[in-house]
Structure 1
């Protein structure tokens, strides 16, 4: 009995082939998401680091006016978009310290939520593939076993030779389902951890920027009283 992949494929039924094509589509989808997210993450990390280096030097002086007027280009990464939203809120905020700081804080929070959701885009596909691919393969396994018993009933006798085609069909769909699911789960966990780390970075940077804004208004208030 030939158990090569070619023979197994030729002996599989239409339903098993449908399962295999479905798993292949799921695998391709997850690979596309992995590649796209890795490219996006690497670019936004680089752009955010460049923005932090440039904007950090300006904010270290406490010069919010210069920071608000600085043009650092469009590619500023997730961190740059969050801080820029805070600078925009600062430019249009009133002179009242409490109102201005609250306005800047809300702007930072809104943009931070948008950035985190943007970074998570596509991860749902990986989660879906990782959780459902084994069950899709199991469905193919179940039908393969059913076919094996049908072959046994048709032949009127048992034995490995009678049911070997159905068993091999069942095993290959199970294996394919696991091969699709395992990389998707690993990628999902890795990329989700990366997004969580960037979320912490955004939160810390937003708090540091708020401190700069609060000190700026405090210094302005003290100067006006003097």
Structure 2
């Protein structure tokens, strides 16, 4: 491998940097986008059960917010309902939507960089190949013709960059598409969870308004 890197020349060093960066981003996203950290399986049922009684206090809401991404979205609705007892459906939906947008932005972190690497790696490989071809033909003296074996060897060495660029771009693109699908799935599940909690919070708001009116 080291001999290939030496033969490919200096254009391969940006590709090596891209490969290390892509691997780091893939590992980070695999760890961060685990379902247990985004939408724990029993959290929604526990919050729904909690919302059927008196609204929880600020300490409970803060712990829920720190629990997971789903907890952040649900905590936004609970906090809005507790701070504004007469809040309507539009206000609650606004709170959920704001928290949802922030959550999706958090889930999409580093995906743009990974997609950029998947797009740029083949171009960097092609650039390295073109540079290598220029060096091969530029090294020949005017009026002389190099042996076909030497030219063929030089071309094969120049193509190392293209091959390396494709080897980086293909897995980076596959993981980028995979992570995008995971983010879309999580966004849908967050939206569905908010829709299930919304009627309970509206019921609490209506009960509080009726009690104050009485």
Could you state the TM-score of these two structures normalised by the residue count of structure 1? 0.81
Could you say what secondary structure the match of 1:156 adopts?
Answer: coil
Residue of structure 1 aligned with 2:157, choices 169, 176, 192: 169
More displaced 10-residue stretch of structure 1: 104-113 or 115-124: 104-113
Residue of structure 1 aligned with 2:46, choices 29, 46, 54: 54
Q: Is the 8 A contact 1:93 1:103 kept in 2?
A: no
Larger RCO, structures 1/2 (Cα 8 Å, 6+ apart): 2
Residue of structure 2 aligned with 1:92, choices 50, 75, 83: 83
Shift, 1:136, TM fit? 0.2
- 1:65 maps to what in 2? 55
Shift, 1:75, TM fit? 4.3
Distance in 2 between residues matched to 1:186 and 1:131, nearest whole Å: 12
Shift, 1:214, TM fit? 2.2
The change in CA–CA distance for 1:166 and 1:147 in structure 2 (over 3 A counts) is farther
Could you say what secondary structure the match of 1:18 adopts?
Answer: coil
Shift, 1:131, TM fit? 0.3
- 2:17 maps to what in 1? 25
Aligned: 1:45 with 2:38: yes
- 1:80 maps to what in 2? 71
Could you say what secondary structure the match of 1:217 adopts?
Answer: helix
Aligned: 1:193 with 2:181: yes
Q: Is the 8 A contact 2:129 2:162 kept in 1?
A: yes
Could you state the TM-score of these two structures normalised by the residue count of structure 2? 0.85
- Give the gaps of 5 or more residues in structure 1: none
Shift, 1:221, TM fit? 5.8
Shift, 1:88, TM fit? 0.7
- Give the gaps of 5 or more residues in structure 2: none
Shift, 1:125, TM fit? 1.2
